[in-house]
Amino acid sequence: MIFRSILAVISGVLIASSPVAAKSKEPVAAPAPALPTVVDPDPAHVPEDVLWLDLSNGGRVAIRLMPAWAPNHVERIKTLTGQGFYNGVVFHRVIEGFMAQTGDPTGTGAGGSQLPDLKAEFNAMPHLRGTVSAARTSEPDTANSQFFIVFYPRFSLDRKYTVFGRVISGMDVVDRIERGEPPANPTRIVRAHMGDQGAAPLPAPAEESISVDDLNNSQSD
């Protein structure tokens, strides 16, 4: 009996110490690196990350793109800007107290570029006044070319839309963008260029008018 008891104790120790019987520990995931929260307001610093928008209301807007927040979205904006994609595009959906949306060459809110849609890069950056974020449909991975600029904080959008930049100059120009869904006489992007491409003279305010029929059936989300 004593011999059997000793064997039982030894067997128990071996089983408890075996890899199969031992309780496995879940690997501890490394914390995600903290995103930079400070946005450099000087457009002369790293000009290749500064998007300039010359608008038909006679003003100029500077947006600091933040690759650390959403690298693929920033790269998309730079690519399309280099192609002249945004030149002449209107702000087709502008809601008082909320935001101004642009980036659709059809002006309906349903269009985009010929490039594939982007996978969402949701991050912890809040939708503050001047935040620039990617527009999309109800599906997360459908951002393409459209984006919006926030007039006033809208924290309900946080982590649901990809924030990729912030206005660092010309927010007063953004405030003057014509309102409407769609606007009766929408404000246009006359020219978009990156800061390292050189600046052109500011455009004069546009006098042309665009009818509501030209911009009907907005389908943007």
pTM of the model: 0.78
User: Running DSSP on this structure, what letter comes out for residue 123?
Assistant: -
State residue 3's pLDDT score.
47
State residue 36's pLDDT score.
85
Walk me through the domains of the chain, giving residue ranges and CATH numbers.
Answer: 44-215 (2.40.100.10)
Ramachandran area for residue 39 (φ above 0: left; ψ -120 to 50: alpha; else beta): beta
Instruction: Please name which of 46, 33, 19, 59 lies closest in space to residue 203, comparing C-alpha atoms.
Output: 59
Q: Are 105 and 85 in contact (CB under 8 A)?
A: yes
**pLDDT per residue rounded down to tens, the chain (221 residues):** 554 554 454 455 444 444 444 455 666 655 667 888 899 999 999 999 999 999 999 999 999 999 999 999 999 999 999 999 999 999 999 999 999 999 999 999 999 999 999 999 999 999 999 999 999 999 999 999 999 999 999 999 999 999 999 999 999 999 999 999 999 999 999 999 999 987 666 655 555 444 445 444 445 55
User: Running DSSP on this structure, what letter comes out for residue 77?
Assistant: H
Q: Are 24 and 169 in contact (CB under 8 A)?
A: no
C-alpha atoms less than 13 angstroms from C-alpha of 173 in its C-beta half-sphere: 23
State residue 211's pLDDT score.
47
